[in-house]
A = this chain, B = another copy of it.
């Protein structure tokens, strides 16, 4: 195996979510398809490097040079509310809903013993520093509704209660999704919809 291939495998294996075997499979697929597969990826990497960055305050993706991002600096948004998500992509989904006008914070992950992600891998220090600034009165947890998301939310709720006891912690409501119904819903969704009935 000549060196350029081994180097590519090694670089791909640095990406979160790609183990060594998957990195080798990905490198093989790229090399086998050649420039038609490699050029778009190489160009996308360079364009992202030059064009965007992660906001150093909330973690949202922002045009390079606009840091803190528009969501952090917009004076019309409410400093008293801080919505916590797993990834910046979640911020976009919430913005599309038009239902939230506060600030954001991306954890850049979730607690996952299975994949070896612990509290130290999340942006928890930055979150607690923002709470210490004193403006935030409510932390809204908008984490995935699965076991790891629940565990992360419980752990965050406890940590915020201990470190910033004046801040209220809420979670998005559980229940039936829109355009769905009882017969299409899994048992856990139904149990949560029944328990949270209004």
Give the interface of A toward B (CB within 8 A).
1-5, 7-8, 10-12, 14-18, 21-22, 24-32, 34-35, 37-42, 44-54, 59, 61-63, 87-89, 92, 108-109
Contact = CB atoms under 8 A, between A and B. Distances in A.
22 contacts: A1-B92, A4-B50, A7-B44, A7-B48, A10-B44, A15-B18, A15-B26, A16-B25, A17-B22, A17-B26, A18-B18, A24-B87, A24-B88, A28-B54, A28-B88, A30-B45, A30-B49, A31-B49, A31-B53, A32-B53, A32-B59, A34-B53
Contacts of A22: 16-18
Interface of A is mostly: helix
A4 B28 CA distance: 25
A24 B24 CA distance: 20
